[in-house]
């Protein structure tokens, strides 16, 4: 059972509002990720972090920002929401395994609608 949480699960807000999507994990993983999932299901990496005070932009250009002040917490902020930000946002963390590989754990997602 993955111990990674996202809040809120659903959010409807008006254009121009500032919002923060929360993501927390209790597994002590250094590497964390934010994905945007479009209606066609494809995942787009928008931000990632290798550890505290490390953040990088992903492949998809995004107007959001992230911070990583604590290992367990990786919030995503939109300073001014627009209808084009309407999407499903998935947070994930990655833990190394004893076979030299890794496993990625996903939160349940936040479905954001900007009106």
Partner 1 sequence: GNSVTQMEGPVTLSEEAFLTINCTYTATGYPSLFWYVQYPGEGLQLLLKATKADDKGSNKGFEATYRKETTSFHLEKGSVQVSDSAVYFCASSGGSYIPTFGRGTSLIVHP
Could you list the residues that contact partner 1 (CB under 8 A)?
A: 2, 4, 6, 31, 40-43, 45, 48, 50, 58, 90, 92, 94, 99-109
Q: Rounded to the nearest whole angstrom, what is the least distance from the CB of residue 115 to partner 1 in the complex? A: 21
Angstrom CA distances, 2 to 7, 51, 53, 105, 109, stand at 15, 19, 24, 6, 13
The strand pairing partners of 82, in sequence order, are: none
Which one, 17 or 30, has the nearer CB to partner 1? 30
Q: Rounded to the nearest whole angstrom, what is the least distance from the CB of residue 49 to partner 1 in the complex? A: 10
Which one, 52 or 82, has the nearer CB to partner 1? 52
Burial class for 83, CB neighbours closer than 10 Å (0-12, 13-18, 19+)? exposed
Q: Rounded to the nearest whole angstrom, what is the least distance from the CB of residue 109 to partner 1 in the complex? A: 5
- Nearest C-alpha neighbor of 29 from the set 50, 14, 48, 43: 50
Q: Rounded to the nearest whole angstrom, what is the least distance from the CB of residue 15 to partner 1 in the complex? A: 25
Which one, 16 or 102, has the nearer CB to partner 1? 102
């Amino acid at each position: 059972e993955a111990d990674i949480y996202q809040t809120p699960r659903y959010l409807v807000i008006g254009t121009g509002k500032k919002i923060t999507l929360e993501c927390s994990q209790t597994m002590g993983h250094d590497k964390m990720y934010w994905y945007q999932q479009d209606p066609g299901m494809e995942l787009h990496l928008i931000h990632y972090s290798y550890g505290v005070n490390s953040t990088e932009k992903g492949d998809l250009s995004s107007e959001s920002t992230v911070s990583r002040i604590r290992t367990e917490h990786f919030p995503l902020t939109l300073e001014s929401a627009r209808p084009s930000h309407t999407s499903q946002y998935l947070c994930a963390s990655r833990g190394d395994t004893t076979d030299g590989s890794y496993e990625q754990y996903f939160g349940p997602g936040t479905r954001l609608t900007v009106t």
